[in-house]
Amino acid sequence: MTAILLSLVLTPFCLLILGLAWFLAALGVYIRDITQFLGTAVTALMFLSPIFFPSSALPEWLRPFLVFNPIALPVEEARNVLIWGRAPACAALGLYSAAALLIAMSGFFWFQKTRKGFADVV
């Protein structure tokens, strides 16, 4: 039954990805070498997030650092909703949603501000 809540977990993550995509697309026009850095960064984030392991497998002193990984909360909450049948943590998901909305709006405004110069650079 809790699988219905998966869209509630994934919507803020999609907003975050959309905002980052707008920001990096605009930045990539001006800085061409960003694609080499981005592939490495995404791979590192994937291996440092709890995709292949549960966060409970980490030592206690490392768990607070998962807050800085933008992939960690959606992965953990999707696991809770789909596998364990628990409702998502509303407080953490609310803060994540607010931050994701802020990043999406910032990325959109950055893209709109910089798109006027795309033709000159390309």
This prediction's pTM? 0.89
Tokens linked to 4: 């219905």
Q: Which letter does DSSP use for residue 33 in this model? A: T
Distance (Å) of CA 17 to CA 23, 31, 41, 111 = 10, 20, 14, 14
Interaxial angle between packed helices 6-30 and 34-48, expressed in degrees from 0 to 180 and rounded to the nearest 10: 150
Residue 72 has a pLDDT of 94
Query: What percentage of the chain carries pLDDT values higher than 90?
Result: 79
pLDDT of 122 higher than 80 = no
Q: Which letter does DSSP use for residue 84 in this model? A: I
Distance (Å) of CA 36 to CA 13, 58, 95 = 23, 30, 31
The mean of the pLDDT values for the chain is 93
Query: What percentage of the chain carries pLDDT values higher than 70?
Result: 100
